[in-house]
Structure 1
Amino acid sequence: MTNNERVIDVTDLRRVYGDERGSFEAVRGVTFSVGRGELFALLGTNGAGKTSTVELLEGLAAPAGGQVRILGHDPHTERDRVRPRIGVMLQEGGFPSELSVTETVRMWAGCTSGARPVGEALDMVGLGGRGKVRVKQLSGGEKRRLDLALALLGRPEVLFLDEPTTGLDAEGRRETWELVRRLRAEGTTVLLTTHYLEEAEDLADRLAILHEGRIAAEGRVAEVVAAQPSHISFELPEGYLLGDLPPLAPLGVTGHETEGRTVRLRTDDLQRAATGLLLWARDARVELRRLDVRGASLEEAFLRIARNAKNGTEPARDKEMAA
């Protein structure tokens, strides 16, 4: 990715809270970039530094160290050059409760350069028929749609979405995903934070998983997933011990755990391991009960990092995958 293609460029970013009596470093040397028309998902365990990072990208605070460039400009010191070209959907918006939906969007449009027509913005998020309803009468999911409508008013080149589908039902979530895909196809660059791993896996071109203020894994979704092992679990047949199984290393098994009679194997070659195990069971004329063959997943990557956080261990940074 060349410098000209980097719409978001973050280098050794740091953020510190506190004063001389005590401080906490929430963001500790984060580096990544996002190209034009790309959707980049920022994931992380609770307290990992996602919100602290995004606020620096949005220009809401100055970093304690490092550098942020949005569309080639510092979003904090050159806010007047960045703000008209970005859209921001906060994790939780605040609207005057007595205003109608249309009045709220019209008020926001008055502060937005080149704003879309109010009706167009509401139609984009599925609120076209709710314009006369007061904000206080909207459901939680509808308020999130209104948040998104306001973020899209200025036809942003860069769109920050902080937990955009929280509170939406399954249909609303899917409709939002389709809208985000259309925006990306039109060239909008999107930075997304979400707790829904399915959302990140479905939408993102690339992602980073934060842990304690640092990036623990980064790359294309398929690459981050491929870095995780697949799993096979089953119950040992009656009368058999772990040592009665065929040699596991030649099958591509890299590790195993046992709990009672349940065996869980880890492998980087799921097809070879599963085939070898099933052929052994066939030849031994035994049944592998509760057999579960599960490929690597983004959930596995996230949970591995979360387990390390819980156990107080520092995860090794997965090999960085170039875009």
Structure 2
Amino acid sequence: MAVVGQHQTAMKEVKWAAAWNKATLPPDNELLTIMRSVQQQGKIALEIEEHSSGTSTGLAADEAILSVNREQLGNLQGIDMESSQAFTKVLVLKEEFQFIRNNSEQKFEDLFTRATSWKCTLDCSRTPKMRIITIIMCLDYFIVSMTFYGLTLGTSSLEVNPFIFMAMSGTVELVAKIFGTLTAGCMGRKKILFLNFSVAAIVLLAQPLVSDDLKWLTLVLVMVGKMSISCAFNLIYLYNLELAPTEIRSQSMSASQIASRAGAVVSPYILSALEAYPWAMSVVMGAAEGAGVVSLLALWETKNTRLMDTVADLEALTHAPATQTEAKR
């Protein structure tokens, strides 16, 4: 009640509580002055809370907070120690808000300039090596995603039981994950990706050549291609993370993920467009995998190499990064 300005009602309640507890109160005029100071403190505390939570109306809240001055504190210091300490804290907050207010405009201007800078927006393509990494990773993500979902959604063209196909598909994906995990550490990321892209390209391009009487062979080729693509899908994340410098690694992954989602989106449309030619989808996916094989030739192996911290470190490389064993030598 004192905070919202109902001082007389508050005094009655306080007197009743004091009589009940047999406590002694100060004179009415001093008690009224204390309640007014409590009301003032409550207003200031509310403004500070609204300002810190972002619900204030902007500069109006700042002005309310900064309206407390040392003259007001001097008038109220004679009331009690608690009120004096409270207003001292408010003055400290006032000075902090004044400092923030004086410096916030420049800070926000600097942040806005950096956020809208083309260098920040196009970090993944503003230097030669980063352009190579970004283009190749986006291409490979697109190919892997398109082929993965194309093989998954193209069950109808194989004329097999869809339940059996899904069970086999899940099995080969599990095998692919285990194979990729065990071999990436010993053989390297690029070699395993190169191997998986090559196998997928070969089996998918060979699948249309199989006679219609050999349905089992067609299914085997598709499953081998699915296993290779699944393995590549898992490893390409690791490879991309190790290729991109630390300062723009998240941007590089985001660009690659956009390409990956684009591949997943166009996959069913390609299936629909080539529905009259069952062999055409395998040829398209096999040719895409071949393009992925060629694109990997421009990149380097990242196994046991030092990760680049900045784009400048990456651009300073004149050859593939040395492995940890070579660096120790």
Task: Give me the TM-score of the superposition, normalised by structure 1.
Answer: 0.19
Task: Give me the TM-score of the superposition, normalised by structure 2.
Answer: 0.19
The structure with more strand, counted as a fraction of residues: 1
The structure with more helix, counted as a fraction of residues: 2
